[in-house]
Structure 1
Amino acid sequence: MLELDITYEIEKVDEFFDEDKITEFVSFILEKEFGDEVQEKEYYLSLMITTNEAIRKINREYRDKDMPTDVISFAYNETENIGPMNMLGDIVISMDRVREQSSEYGHSDEREFYYVLCHGMLHLLGYDHIEEEDKKVMRKREEEILEKFNYVRN
């Protein structure tokens, strides 16, 4: 079971911000990673939908990069997993960047939102893309997940 805490720091909430759909998407990612054992555990995820200005401040403070980005993930420490609850972490997504990138790449805001959500989740689960081989593994997993929900590249 997934407990999802979503905070909206944007004025316009897009029609695809269906919390049930977001929960289904994140739950599917967990099932892909952990298989049947997901059903036996509880998970917590915090998701913030914000602006370029807000994510830029977070990026500067925590990553020493003074620029907006699409998504930032903060994995919780294993010591924060108390009892049966697995604390996954925080994901911060800039809807400004999502809209900019969807226009740049020629696909929908919805597809781009779920791409960056998937990307952020995979970081929380230990994936990375610094080394080329790791990047290939992460991209393959992203495409498998997005394809299930028909969020394919144009």
Structure 2
Amino acid sequence: MPAISFFNESVSYKLPNKLKLKKWIKSTIEKEGYNLEQLNFIFCSDEYLLGINQQFLNHDTYTDIITFDNSEVEKLIIGDIFISIERVKENAKIYKTNDFDEVCRIIIHGTLHLLGYKDKGKIAKTLMTDKENEYLAMREL
């Protein structure tokens, strides 16, 4: 049974519209020709995500998201996506949007990484942003 789950680690964050978000994420995955098995979103603090960044990626920097692809089968989604709620709120201020829209952008950004999209380099980053915008426009919230 495919599952999308949301967890909190070191933060108190209540994500609204969970059922609609799950449907939206699942439809994004299917539209890209992938199958969903298990996808976990873990909302956490800056410090928690910094620890993951240091431990697993050897990066000593704050970030808004880290995506782990745990699938060994092509076109099958099994992953963990860690999202810093503090970074998301800061980004929302910078980009003059609300916290929920920014959380949705980060959620779909991480999902797109699992679907094979990259964001290193100008061309890849432009494609990633275009895909984010495409799928954000498909939300029914």
TM, length-normalised to structure 1: 0.80
Cα distance in 1 for residues equivalent to 2:37 and 2:115: 12
| Matching of residue 105 in structure 1 with residue 95 in structure 2 | yes
Question: What's the CA shift string for 1:47-85, capped at 9, x where partnerless?
Answer: 111110100000111121112211110111415x8xxxx
Indicate the percent of aligned positions where both proteins have the same amino acid: 29
Larger C-alpha radius of gyration, 1 or 2? 1
What's the CA shift string for 1:11-41, capped at 9, x where partnerless?
A: 432352x32122112112112201xxx6xx5
1:133 aligns with 2:123: yes
Alpha-carbon distance change, 137 to 66 in structure 1, aligned in 2, over 3 angstroms: same
Q: Does 1:24 align with 2:30?
A: no
Compared CA separation, residues 96 and 137, structure 1 to 2 (3 A): same
Instruction: Work out whether 1:69 is the aligned partner of 2:63.
Output: yes
Q: Does 1:116 align with 2:110?
A: no
Letter in 1 for 2:127: V
Q: Secondary structure at the match of 2:47?
A: helix
Distance 1:129 1:20 in 2: 28
Task: Report the count of equivalent residues.
Answer: 140
The 1-side partners of 2:119 and 2:22 are apart by 25
Structure with bigger helix share is 1
Structure 2 runs not aligned, ≥5 long: none
Q: What is the Cα-based RMSD across aligned positions, in Å?
A: 2.2
1: distance between equivalents of 2:102 and 2:21? 13
Report the Cα distance in structure 1 between the residues aligned to 2:126 and 2:120, rounded to whole angstroms: 10
The letter of the residue matching 1:72 is I
- What is aligned with 1:7? 7
Partner SS, residue 140 of structure 1: helix
Unaligned runs of 5+ in 1: none
